[in-house]
Amino acid sequence: MPIDIKRPVFLSGENPGMTLYKSDTDYPVAIISYWHVIDSPHGIGNALVLWLDEIAVSESARTLSGIFTDNLSLARTLMQTLTRYFPEFSDVSVDALAYYEAHCEHVFNDSGQYRVTCKSGQNKIVVEWRDLLDRRSISWSGFPAGNQSFDLQNVICPCGSGTLIINDFVVNGTVKTGTRTDGHPSSTAFLAFAESWVGPINAPSDNGSEVS
């Protein structure tokens, strides 16, 4: 059986995301991408990327747009190389987001709830994904990231609901769900497990046949 070997491996881990909208509109009030990197030549750690609409959220919460991380170097690499090119961030200014040192952790329980908690100074940010709707394996060859591209593989689990809580303030926004053309559910809140990024795919790599 032939085995397809790819290099270089940029990272592996988890990368759930969520976009919350003003009720009954296409107006985003919060966009979230959480990175839990378990292996990478660039380091390991966590990064919560949070964009908040300045009009839709309260004055006490809107200043907390930013990137919250326990590994600043890794977080900058993730933002500059991948996250800034994600479709959900295409219409917002993520390059202006500030970086904050934070303690980030997450739990995933038997009921399908994935909860991320980031504490930075006196601030606490909690993101919850709930109600798993589906599980599907994704393979995306040549994911575009500026002037380079990557091969992406993961398991995507769209969720029926999600919540963003900032210092006990619940951000007023809703997850959008729908149905794909193949009849399976879609959502603007999703979990992403067993995620691996290989590339840049035009970078020199070892084409050896060993398996490790």
| DSSP secondary structure letter of residue 206 | -
Q: pTM score > 0.95 for this model?
A: no
- Give the per-residue pLDDT at 63: 65
Range in 17-21, 32-36, 53-57, 90-94 the model is least confident about: 53-57
In a domain, residue 74? The reply is: yes
In a domain, residue 135? The reply is: yes
pLDDT band at 4 (very low <50, low <70, confident <90, very high): confident
Please give the single-letter amino acid code of residue 92. Answer: V
| DSSP secondary structure letter of residue 62 | H
CATH code of residue 132: 2.40.370
pLDDT beyond 60 at 205: no
- Give the per-residue pLDDT at 210: 41
CB-based contact 186:158 (threshold 8 Å): yes
- Give the per-residue pLDDT at 209: 37
Q: What is the pLDDT of residues 94-118, one digit of tens each?
A: 888 999 999 999 999 988 899 999 9
Q: What is the mean pLDDT of residues 168-183?
A: 94
Residue 185 phi, psi dihedral angles, 5° rounding:
-70, 150
In a domain, residue 207? The reply is: no
CB-based contact 86:33 (threshold 8 Å): yes
Number of structural domains (the chain) is 1
- Give the per-residue pLDDT at 24: 87
> Which residues fall within 8 angstroms of residue 144, CB to CB, at 6 or more apart?
85
pLDDT beyond 50 at 207: no
Which two three-digit tokens encode residue 124? 């606490």
CB-based contact 104:49 (threshold 8 Å): no
In a domain, residue 40? The reply is: yes
In a domain, residue 209? The reply is: no
Please give the single-letter amino acid code of residue 21. Answer: Y
The full length of the chain comes to 212
- Give the per-residue pLDDT at 16: 98
In a domain, residue 205? The reply is: no
pLDDT band at 32 (very low <50, low <70, confident <90, very high): very high
Q: What is the pLDDT of residues 115-126, one digit of tens each?
A: 999 999 999 999
- Of 139, 142, 138, 140, whose CA–CA distance to 200 is shortest? 142
The parent domain of residue 114 ranges over 9-198
CB-based contact 33:142 (threshold 8 Å): no
- Of 111, 136, 106, whose CA–CA distance to 15 is shortest? 106
In a domain, residue 1? The reply is: no
- Give the per-residue pLDDT at 2: 83
In a domain, residue 126? The reply is: yes
Question: DSSP string spanning 74-86?
Answer: HHHHHHHHTGGGS
Strand partners, 148: 145
